[in-house]
């Protein structure tokens, strides 16, 4: 069911798609942004006034952090190993972060270009603790666009 115009949506779940493989069990996505440099052009106008104009510069690369519950799925680990051992042909991938609604239908896709894993962190391991174990993957990318 489509949302009425001007209503905001709630992301009920998130997924990561890399080379056609979708991982839907993502709990949290942070740091996803598009950014570019700002160029300041300082000049005098024809009537002698000093002005500063701001112009768009080069786009900046970014990083996104994905968190999910620890599972038997080792796709994150395989991807990290490729990057660690310099197999960048395998490690650099195109893909997207996907936001799903309460029915599991995609609301929005954030396409990542030349993305590869920078780090993988396992949550705190404590004996007797009843909290969910997590793994946090930091992915760096060259460009991002909203689809």
Give the number of C-alpha atoms closer than 13 A to the C-alpha of residue 85, restricted to the C-beta side. Answer: 7
Instruction: Tell me the pLDDT band of 75, cut-offs 50, 70 and 90.
Output: confident
Averaged confidence pLDDT in the chain: 88
Q: b or e along 63-72 (b: 16 or more beta carbons within 10 Å of the residue's beta carbon)? A: ebbbbbeeee
- In order of 48, 70, 119, 141, the CA distances from 64 in angstroms are 46, 18, 11, 8
Instruction: Please calculate the CA angle 18-23-29 and round it to the nearest 5 degrees.
Output: 90
Per-residue pLDDT reduced to its tens digit, 21-52: 888 889 999 999 999 999 999 999 999 999 99
In tens, the pLDDT along 47-71 reads 999 999 999 999 999 999 999 988 8
């Amino acid at each position: 069911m489509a949302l009425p115009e001007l209503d905001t949506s709630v992301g009920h779940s998130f997924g990561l798609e890399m080379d056609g493989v979708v991982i839907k069990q993502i709990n949290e996505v942070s740091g996803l942004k598009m950014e570019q440099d700002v160029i300041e052009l300082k000049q005098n106008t024809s009537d002698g006034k000093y002005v500063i104009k701001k112009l768009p510069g080069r786009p900046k690369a970014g990083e996104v952090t994905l968190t999910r519950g620890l599972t038997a799925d080792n796709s994150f680990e395989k991807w990290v190993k490729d990057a660690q051992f310099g197999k960048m042909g395998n490690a650099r991938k195109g893909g997207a972060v996907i936001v799903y609604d309460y029915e599991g239908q995609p609301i929005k896709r954030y396409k990542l270009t030349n993305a590869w894993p920078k780090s993988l962190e396992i949550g705190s391991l404590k004996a007797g603790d009843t909290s969910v174990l997590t793994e946090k993957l930091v992915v760096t990318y060259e460009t991002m666009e909203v689809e």
